[in-house]
């Protein structure tokens, strides 16, 4: 029997603008292999010959889930996750649905850790408005929140998270909290 340490899967959950991408960068700097579930959406939008924007991204996300079910993104990324686990720990940027969570929990059991990145809505909306890539208006940000909670079952993975990173102050605090989580995992 091997005493080799088994690599871990850390799934980041949270609402848009909470800071999941910033947290995933810290995990990457700590030698975790990053898999961004949203890359599937970007690829689908490009495949359709459309511009990357909120409307086209939402349409692509919903179409993939209609076709493959609510666990679509976990299913489509499973081989990437399994390949990455052969050589490193993995961080998933953007686990969304309850069904994705259950699919991954079934596959990786006690080797799956969920981390919710939390920030209050007003602060998240300001961040989304000011971001350089895919900025959102206040109306778009609110609509996306509602759609992700009501149509994507996003509340479950947030409620079941193993720990919380509170991102309501500054980047230095976010980075330090993330490093604390990483230290607790490895």
- pTM of structure: 0.90
The sign of the CA dihedral 170, 173, 179, 185 is negative
pLDDT in tens, 92-120: 999 999 999 999 999 999 999 999 999 99
* Length of the chain counted residue by residue: 186
Segment (H or E) for 11: strand 9-13
Which residue segments constitute the domains of the chain, with CATH numbers given?
9-185 (3.40.50.300)
Cα distance between residue 85 and residue 136, in whole Å: 34
pLDDT at 5: 62
pLDDT in tens, 44-102: 999 999 998 888 988 898 899 999 999 999 999 999 999 999 999 999 999 999 999 99
């Amino acid at each position: 029997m091997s005493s080799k340490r088994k690599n871990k899967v850390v799934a980041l959950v949270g609402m848009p603008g909470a800071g999941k991408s910033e947290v995933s960068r810290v995990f990457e700097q700590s030698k975790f292999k990053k898999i961004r579930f949203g890359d599937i959406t970007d690829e689908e939008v490009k495949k359709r010959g459309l511009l990357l924007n909120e409307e086209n991204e939402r349409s692509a996300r919903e179409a993939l889930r209609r076709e493959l079910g609510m666990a679509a993104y976990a299913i489509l990324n499973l081989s990437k996750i399994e390949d990455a686990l052969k050589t490193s720990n993995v961080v998933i940027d953007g686990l969304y649905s309850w069904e994705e969570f259950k699919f991954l929990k079934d596959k990786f059991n006690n080797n799956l850790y969920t981390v919710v990145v939390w920030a209050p809505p007003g602060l998240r909306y300001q961040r989304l408005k000011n971001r350089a890539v895919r900025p959102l208006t206040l109306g778009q940000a609110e609509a996306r929140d509602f759609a992700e909670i009501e149509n994507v079952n996003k509340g479950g993975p947030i409620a079941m998270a193993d720990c919380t990173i509170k991102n309501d102050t500054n980047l230095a605090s976010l980075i330090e909290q993330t490093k604390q989580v990483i230290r607790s995992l490895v």
